[in-house]
């Protein structure tokens, strides 16, 4: 299948006011203001103080080249990190989600966790750009301010260690996102994928802007209103490496999606791991904390 060309639009904006000072304060208060409304939350972790920025995603270089990057900047033009500087929590079980890969595209875009300001780039292997063997059918990206600690063995998931990345989100809404877009989502389920021995959580979520968002609040609602979607997500991530000659990925927790409460537990634990990382309680290795 021909790889779908992925283009970016930097039209989405996010306004954040963080009332903390210094490299890390916990807990703090903040306000996130989107074009279509304002949501408030009183407790977060943050790794830098950002005062009233207009956060925008901006391209550098040409898509589908090794130099292509999508950086995030505030209203002064200062580069910030979509991983570290966008708050996770929005309150009432709602979270920020950064789109890396829009639905119905195949370029393997990801936050460059080892580069300053952690821009979004296309992944490479042996110097060549990477593509999935077929389009991904959902918006895919990350939860900011989360981290799957590679030194932590999760006793509930076969003792697997984290994959050293932010937590992944599969957003099942009907609209196609844009690279670098920040969506408000609510988690619905969690899949515990084991990828070459590493734990790689997939949080299934839905954008609050989706017409069916009010109908789905837990894993059973997904099956009712999006029948077959959870199985399709699991099978897609299980099989996508097979065309490259690699074995299928596995899923723990009985090969089934865990419910919303478990997904929130995963988010809380990985947010705490991220906080330890940016406080340098855990060695960062090659990860960028800027």
CB-CB contact of 136 with 179 (8 Å): no
Q: Over 50: is that where the pLDDT of 44 sits?
A: no
Residues 74-87, mean pLDDT to the nearest whole number: 93
Q: What is the pLDDT of residue 276?
A: 98
Q: What is the pLDDT of residue 227?
A: 98
CB-CB contact of 146 with 166 (8 Å): yes
Mark whether 262 is an active-site residue: no
C-alpha to C-alpha distance for 52 and 64, rounded to whole angstroms: 33
Q: Over 90: is that where the pLDDT of 123 sits?
A: yes
Q: What is the pLDDT of residue 20?
A: 31
pLDDT in tens, 5-37: 334 333 344 443 332 333 333 333 334 444 344
Residues 142-171, mean pLDDT to the nearest whole number: 98
Residues facing residue 194 across a β-bridge: 199, 250
Please tell me which residue in 132, 140, 240, 262 is annotated as part of the active site. Answer: 132
Q: What is the pLDDT of residue 75?
A: 82
> What is the torsion angle, in degrees rounded to the nearest 10, for the CA atoms of residue 253, residue 137, residue 13 and residue 92?
-30
What domains are defined for the chain?
A: 98-107+132-279 (3.90.80.10)
DSSP three-state, residue 269: helix
Q: What is the pTM of this model?
A: 0.83
pLDDT in tens, 178-224: 999 999 999 999 999 999 999 999 999 999 999 999 999 999 999 99
pLDDT in tens, 213-228: 999 999 999 999 999 9
Q: What is the pLDDT of residue 251?
A: 98
Bond prior to 223 in cis (omega within 30° of 0): no
Q: Where in 61-166 does DSSP place strands (E)?
A: 69-73, 79-80, 89-91, 94-101, 105-107, 109-111, 120-122, 124-125, 128-129, 131-136, 139-143, 153-154, 160-162
Q: Over 60: is that where the pLDDT of 108 sits?
A: yes
pLDDT in tens, 46-61: 333 233 346 899 999 9
């Amino acid at each position: 299948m021909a790889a779908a060309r992925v283009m970016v639009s930097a039209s989405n904006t996010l306004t954040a006011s963080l009332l903390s000072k210094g490299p890390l304060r916990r807990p703090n208060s903040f306000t996130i203001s989107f074009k279509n409304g304002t949501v408030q939350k009183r407790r977060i972790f943050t790794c830098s103080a950002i005062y009233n920025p207009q956060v925008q995603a901006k391209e550098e270089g040409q898509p589908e080249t090794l130099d292509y990057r999508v950086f995030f900047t505030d209203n002064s033009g200062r580069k910030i990190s979509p991983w570290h500087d966008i708050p996770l929590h929005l309150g009432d079980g709602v979270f920020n989600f950064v789109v890396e890969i829009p639905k119905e595209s195949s370029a393997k875009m990801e936050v460059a966790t080892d580069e300053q300001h952690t821009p979004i780039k296309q992944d490479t292997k042996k110097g060549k750009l990477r593509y999935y063997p077929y389009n991904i059918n959902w918006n895919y990206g990350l939860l900011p301010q989360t981290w799957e600690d590679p030194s932590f063995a999760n006793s509930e998931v076969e003792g697997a260690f984290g994959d050293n990345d932010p937590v992944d989100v599969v957003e099942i809404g009907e609209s196609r996102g844009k690279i670098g877009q920040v969506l408000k989502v609510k988690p619905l389920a969690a899949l515990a994928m084991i990828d070459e021995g590493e734990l790689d959580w997939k949080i299934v979520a839905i954008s609050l802007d989706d017409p069916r968002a009010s109908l789905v609040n837990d894993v059973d609602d997904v099956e009712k209103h999006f029948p077959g979607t959870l199985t399709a997500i699991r099978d897609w991530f299980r099989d996508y490496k097979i065309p490259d000659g690699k074995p299928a990925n596995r899923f723990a927790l009985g090969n089934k999606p865990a419910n919303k409460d478990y997904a929130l537990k995963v988010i809380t634990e990985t947010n705490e791991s991220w906080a330890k990382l940016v406080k340098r309680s855990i060695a960062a290795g090659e990860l960028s904390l800027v």
